[in-house]
Amino acid sequence: MLRIENVSYSYDTEAVLENIDLRIQRREHVAIIGESGCGKSTLLKIIYGLMDLEQGEIYWEDEPVLGPRSMLVPGAPFMKYLSQDFDLMPFTSVTENISEYLSVFYPKELKERTQELLEMIELTDFANTKVKNLSGGQQQRVALARVLAQKPEILLLDEPFSHIDNFLKNGLRRNIFKYLKDNGITCIVATHDYQDVLPFTDRVVVLKDKTVMAKGKPLDLYKNPRSLYIASLFGEANSISIDVLKSYANTKRKIIVYAHEFRVSGNSGIPTVVHTSYPMGPTIWLREKQKMGSLCSSIPTKNYLRTKRSFLM
């Protein structure tokens, strides 16, 4: 188990994290999500031991995770950390980068393992290409394979698919997270992309205002968000007073409605006027005005009213 106990951290005099307490089980996959600047990357660096703790303690099982003041080479040996800076060897090949930490005393295993990882990241055709000649997305894939080659007990990923084209991203996600599960590797991923979270993680930790705002199973937080902030991390969302949805309701209590949950109605619901539309293929994303403010909705393109007037239910 990874234990993060009462951890706080500041840059100069500005607090970034305050009193963070988390328990992460072996083989568990946990996502840390939140707005830019909320401390996701800082928390990963602290967990890895790249920063000295101002307050609190971190343990993997019974072994403390120590910072640069105590470690000649920062970074816990049983963990690997993939940052947004890939830390590759630019003038050597993809194969050499991936196999750097594999034993040359077992050439057959080295070759098989390297080939397995090349196939996982779908770069077999670039095996002998120098890293400096790869695109940013390709370099990120090499960096992923490089840390996986070392078979860590815990893998820390900071925005691991941010540079990768959508064409490849979904398949790569499936390959990587399946590999981690199959090999029993504990994974903590800091991300702003909910598609890294919903299908692949066991638990989500939401950071806001320097602290843990919420934590739970991904679908539980998605279906029952406690706030508009949490909902917005999973997609476009609205906070709407119940009496706007139901005129007979005598309450100002608000509920959260995702953009895709709206439906166009012929003659009842919330009267709106579309002021901006964004075609998205099978759906069209709309910004609309209604008497209580603005809404965002996402409806099938075929249901979009050319009059730009509709009722939303």
What pLDDT is attached to residue 270?
A: 76
Q: Averaged over 228-254, what is the pLDDT?
A: 81
Reading the block at residue 47, the tokens are: 């967990």
Average pLDDT over residues 139-160: 90
pLDDT (0 to 100) of residue 264: 77
pLDDT at 48: 92
| Structure confidence at residue 149 (pLDDT) | 87
Q: Between these two residues, 78 and 20, which has the higher pLDDT value?
A: 20
Position 53 pLDDT exceeds 60:
yes
Q: What is the DSSP string of 11-67?
A: ETTEEEEEEEEEEE-TT-EEEEE-STTSSHHHHHHHHHTSS--SEEEEEETTEEP--
**How many CB atoms neighbour CB 259 within 10 A?**
18
The whole-number pLDDT of residue 307 equals 45
Q: How confident is the model at residue 103 (pLDDT cuts 50, 70, 90)?
A: confident
Q: Are 98 and 145 in contact (CB under 8 A)?
A: yes
Strands (E), the chain: 2-11, 14-24, 29-33, 55-60, 63-64, 79-82, 154-158, 186-190, 203-208, 211-216, 237-241, 254-258, 264-265, 270-279, 283-290, 293-300, 309-312
All domains of the chain in start order, with CATH? 2-226 (3.40.50.300), 236-312 (2.40.50)
Enumerate residues 6+ apart whose C-beta is below 8 A from 52. 67, 68, 69
Taken in order 198, 201, 207, 213, the sign of the CA dihedral is positive
Q: How confident is the model at residue 310 (pLDDT cuts 50, 70, 90)?
A: low
pLDDT-above-90 percentage for the chain: 47
Kindly report, residue by residue over 160-207, the tens digit of the pLDDT.
888 888 888 888 899 899 999 999 999 999 999 999 999 999 999 999
Half-sphere CA count of 184, side-chain side, radius 13 A: 3
Give 65-83 pLDDT, tens digit per residue. 988 888 877 777 889 998 8
Q: Distances in Å between the alpha carbon of 207 and those of 154, 184, 267?
A: 21, 26, 41
Encoding tokens for residue 42? Answer: 């800082």
Q: How confident is the model at residue 292, as a pLDDT?
A: 60
Residue 112 CB contacts under 8 Å (≥ 6 apart), including other chains: none
The pLDDT score that the predictor gives to residue 213 is 95
Read off the pLDDT of residues 108-135 as tens digits, 9 standing for 90 and up.
888 898 999 999 888 999 999 999 999 9
Over range 3-25, report the average pLDDT: 93
